[in-house]
Amino acid sequence: MAVQQAAVIGAGTMGAEIALVIAEHGVPVVLKEIAPQYLERGLRQIDALLQRRVERGRLRTEEAQAARARIHPTLEEQALTTVDFVIEAVPEQLALKQAVFRDLGRLTPPHAVLATNTSSLPVHELAQASGRPANVIGFHFFNPASVMRLVEVVVTAETAEATVATALAFARQIGKLPVRVRECPGFLVNRILVAGMVEGMRYQQEQRAALDAVDRALREQARVPMGPFQLADLVGLDIVAEIGGILEAAYGERFQVPPIVRELVAQGRLGQKSGGGFYQPDGTPLPLGDQPVEGEQLVQRVLAAGFLEAYRCLEEGIASPDEIDLAMQAGAGWPLGPLTWAEQQGLPRVVALLQRLAATVGPRFTPPASLVERAARGEPLRPQPTDTPRSGGA
């Protein structure tokens, strides 16, 4: 099904940017809110983004005007009765999102795809609330939505294949890179990313290392865009604590966020959005440690933790090997996907590293039996292409 008209529910930071992305790619989009002040705030954000792009030469004035004209702000439910694809982008509160999906199930056409931009809440519970679970899918953008290419297309046990096909096609239609993900707590990118983030924080806590030294070592040696403390400040410490709690409840102590995160949240230090988190606004880190960093040990722990979670996702059928690597490169900015990293190291060497870390750091690094067996057999992580027999001739 081709999407002729879309809708975004919620004109907050993500919702406004998602609506702009859709409009810039030629699709009319309804931007729905519950109060005029929220709608006006979202439109100001859209106008500012468009103006910035014109000033930087990325858009011509007439292109910006055309994109803006495709965005139809409204407070009226009736505007949703003709749309083909709806993206819910309201705050991360399950009851609120369930109420939105109950309304969407009632208001939208029977063919409409009902998508959620949630980063952590169970998509299947929103699907049940809609009364049309076959039409519901996760459609998780990454922040900032107008810049980041990746969209996780999160498929529940009840999502119809036609819904999946429409979602994948629509993501491409609006210039995004979709990765199909089977629903699980944390989905794909956050699950792997938080595993590495928490391990970096644990290293700092154990070694009493300087925060900025930890971040710098990972940027320079692992070549990731940000270390764990910079990333936490960008995402929001309250969000890190929330997602970490969800992942810990689902998968156990390997996702246990260090207590300092919740202590800072209680103090109102949420990161960049509150004027300070692990770092002060002037870039000075909090004095939580002053010891030097053993870069190789830190990098090994963080990359090993990320790889282990990626391997678990592979074993659970959450995504294909290529999609796992692509998602971490496009969604987290990693220079290599975690499976490619392991393949380059060699599985026997990775297993030996994990066994050493399990003995010296903690049992969370114990390699799964299936991984040990793969390494012993020389079996790769991804299916290898088979030679096609030649036909005819000598």
Is 140 a residue of the active site?
A: yes
Provide the CA 300 distance to its chain's centre, in angstroms.
23
Distance, CA of 32 to CA of 34 (rounded, Å): 7
As a dihedral over the C-alpha atoms of residue 157, residue 159, residue 161, residue 163, rounded to 10 degrees, the angle is: -160
Instruction: Identify whether the C-beta of residue 18 lies closer than 8 Å to the C-beta of residue 141.
Output: yes
Concatenated DSSP letters of 104-120: HHHHS-TT-EEEE--SS
H helix intervals, the chain: 13-24, 36-55, 61-69, 94-107, 123-130, 161-173, 189-207, 211-217, 228-235, 237-251, 259-266, 295-316, 321-332, 338-345, 347-360, 369-377
| Parallel, antiparallel or unpaired: strands 136-141 and 150-155 | antiparallel
Quote the DSSP letter at residue 219: I
Distance, CA of 177 to CA of 98 (rounded, Å): 27
Query: Which distant-in-sequence residues (6+ apart) come within 8 Å of 342 by Cβ?
Result: 307, 311, 350, 381
From the list 72, 111, 124, 140, the catalytic residue is 140
Instruction: Identify whether the C-beta of residue 160 lies closer than 8 Å to the C-beta of residue 134.
Output: yes
Instruction: Identify whether the C-beta of residue 309 lies closer than 8 Å to the C-beta of residue 276.
Output: no
Q: What positions carry a catalytic annotation?
A: 140
